[in-house]
Amino acid sequence: MASYIKFFYTLCILSFVLLITPHCLSAEQNNWAKSSQFFTKIAKSNSNTHYFLAINESQGIALLDENYQALSIISRNAEHLDFRWLPSQNSEGIIATLDVDSGEILLISVNLNTPLLTIKQQFKPLMTSFEAMCLQRSRSQIDLFTVDSQGIATHYNVYNKSRLLAPIEINQFAVGPNINACAVDDQQQTLLIAEENIGVWQYSTDPEHEVVRELIALPQGLEVEYIDTTSEGDIAIVSPDVNTFWYYHSRNQTLIEKPLPKDISPKTIQLYRNGDKLQAFMFDDKSSSIIASQWHTIMPPVLHETDVIESLTPFAQTQPVNAYGDAADDPAIWVNSENSAQSIIFTTDKKFGLNTYDLTGKRKQSIPIGRINNIDIRYDIHFAGKRVDIAAASNRTTNSISLFTIDKATGHATFINDIKTDLTDPYGLCMSNINEQISVWINDTDGRFQQYQLSFDSPMIKGKKVMEWRVPSQPEGCVVDDKTARLFYGEEATGIWLKHIDSTQSSEFIIGLHNGVKADIEGMGLYTVASNHYLIVSSQGNNRYAVYAIDQNNSFLGVFRISADLNNRIDGASETDGLAVTSVALGSQHPDGLLVVQDGHNVMPKRPQNFKFVDGSLLKKWINSKVAAQ
């Protein structure tokens, strides 16, 4: 290759640790390598053989060998270039580019074994046009991000489970106008968007995260034109307005500015890392040619910490609540004693009232009762001359406990009455049935916790406050193990408390925050496997669910996530408020019960909040695996 290329050195650049002279590709090289607007190197892992990808607005898209000879060409005028190897592959990958004539995004397979470029997918948006696009690779899938002319970013899945898919829309969010380019830092799971005259905005690529952004600020007034990353976490930014190259180190958030010679005006940049060497291919707007530079960098790869968290996948989700924003909160599972397959999920809507759903997620009932927050259920109570089940909910509109009867055959809920409390902001709630005494345990955001004993000897359900205590800061989620008279409740910013209901002793703080669990501590439920009881807790701060063996000194089993089912268009769950779980068989389809969790960000597509259903068999299998590993 050295004999083939005649370098002529006309430019110089200050590298991170030594002077390196960039070179223009010589006139003997063909136009693909000489004047393509987008040009980068790719190589199989553990191989000395490398290839090049080139995109030329007038010639098309090409795969080149190491001597810059075209191995495969697609004759489509294009701009933009991003490339990712397929998961667990080092000879097949995907290019994302834009057909400038049709306005379509092209997803092109790159096969180095053939070698061949093949268009696998092509699509364009409705009533708008694409301005930027970039790819992300994770352990098992490849995603595509686009930004259109209206300033809307769209997140698609395009490769999953060893096959290239028609793009599946996962999420949309506004990023604003004047977007020139985007790139993804796979290591930090960050979407980088270059906004003209501003800088580069950073967003999380996790569709379940709240949309927030941070700015990598560049000097004001510059046209921030292009950005690229490597799979090892390098980030580079260029502007044609100045002869400067910016290198951003995401781990320590350091922006390193390096001057380029005066006669370079970089329009695009593509990066390639090989060990400690970082190579950049820049299209010089003044000479309309590719400039290649290489550095021995002092910055090591920004490798992401290994964070393998097992996931459970939902089989269904509820219809969303009616209002956007923080609305859905807490579920309770009503088990139909006459036909468990016809069980019902009771849920709260903090902007409306009570919603109930069947086991497919279809809404059955809606009762506009006020801003109810948490809900729980107890069974087989004699009231008004018949046996009924009872639901209680904390009502922040009336500062009360709202009570409902549940028809034992149909699950139909009927509002009965409110029990007034002296709380200023009723929040968390759970119920107990101990020695045939039904109680409601309710707390306030100011830290107060109260017990109300219910009586059912009149047309109205009455409640009497019999106990009150206070925790240091805001509580919410709670659950009672009726058989052992144990009340577990969370202090959101701190951890979990245990109160023995049949004892005069004060509550005991049993579980604090730790590496797997971050504030806020929210929903709680009890699940039984082989007569052993496990406390399931939503760790809202990191979108995980923690499990504790409460019969084995509250030992920590681990955490899991709830991930998306892409094929059935069910997204994962995040920022979960309430959850409910039962190990009781719900018909033949769910012999090990059910886990229901609130989803704080309902996407794929983006809609108001809802609840996700996870089959109890997945939870049981996960628990058994953790117990066996101890």
Rounded CA separation 365/345 (Å): 10
Last residue of a domain, one of 296, 319, 350: 296
**Contact 524/534 with Cβ under 8 angstroms?**
no
* 375 and 238 housed in the same domain: no
Q: Is 34 helix (H, G, I), strand (E, B) or coil?
A: helix
Q: Please, which residues bridge with residue 42 across strands?
A: 51
User: Which CATH number goes with the domain that contains 172?
Assistant: 2.120.10.30
Residue 600 lies in a domain: yes
**Contact 63/70 with Cβ under 8 angstroms?**
yes
Rounded CA separation 581/332 (Å): 8
Rounded CA separation 422/500 (Å): 24
pLDDT for residue 7: 28
Positions in the chain whose pLDDT score sits under 70: 1-29, 297-307
Residue found under tokens 């109890």? 616
Tell me, what amino acid is at 8? F
Residue range 212-268, pLDDT digits in tens: 999 998 887 788 999 999 988 899 999 998 888 899 887 778 888 877 777 889 999
117: closest CA among 184, 67, 42, 185? 42
104: closest CA among 128, 84, 86, 82? 128
pLDDT for residue 303: 58
* 346 and 235 housed in the same domain: no
pTM recorded for the entire structure: 0.85
pLDDT for residue 515: 82
**What sign results for the dihedral spanned by CA atoms 191, 39, 289, 16?**
positive
Residue 1 lies in a domain: no
Residues 6+ apart with CB under 8 A from 450: 421, 423, 441, 442, 443, 444, 465, 467, 468
Rounded CA separation 569/561 (Å): 17
CB atoms within 10 A of CB 89: 14
Residues 6+ apart with CB under 8 A from 345: 318, 331, 332, 333, 334, 356, 357, 358, 359, 580, 596, 611, 613
71: closest CA among 28, 120, 112? 112
Residue 520: asked if its preceding bond is cis (omega within 30°), the reply is yes
Rounded CA separation 517/493 (Å): 11
Residue 6 lies in a domain: no
* 394 and 251 housed in the same domain: no
Last residue of a domain, one of 267, 296, 325: 296
* 416 and 341 housed in the same domain: yes
588: closest CA among 562, 567, 611, 617? 617
Residue range 342-395, pLDDT digits in tens: 999 999 999 999 999 999 999 999 999 999 999 999 999 999 899 999 999 999
* 270 and 317 housed in the same domain: no
* 287 and 420 housed in the same domain: no
Residue 274 lies in a domain: yes
Pairing verdict, β 328-334 and 190-195? unpaired
* 248 and 322 housed in the same domain: no
Residue 8 lies in a domain: no
pLDDT for residue 402: 98
* 285 and 379 housed in the same domain: no
Residue 119 lies in a domain: yes
Q: Give the single-character DSSP code of 321.
A: P
Pairing verdict, β 386-395 and 372-383? antiparallel
**Contact 614/361 with Cβ under 8 angstroms?**
no
Torsion of CA 32, 33, 35, 40, to 10 degrees: 100
Number of domains in the chain: 2
pLDDT for residue 25: 47
* 43 and 174 housed in the same domain: yes
pLDDT for residue 355: 98
Task: Report the run of H or E that residue 497 belongs to, with start and end.
Answer: strand 495-500
Last residue of a domain, one of 248, 267, 296: 296
**Contact 93/118 with Cβ under 8 angstroms?**
no
Residue 205 lies in a domain: yes
Residues 6+ apart with CB under 8 A from 405: 383, 384, 388, 389, 390, 391, 413, 414, 416
* 270 and 355 housed in the same domain: no
Provide the domain limits for residue 209: 13-296
* 83 and 215 housed in the same domain: yes
* 366 and 505 housed in the same domain: yes
Rounded CA separation 25/66 (Å): 13
Residue 338 lies in a domain: yes
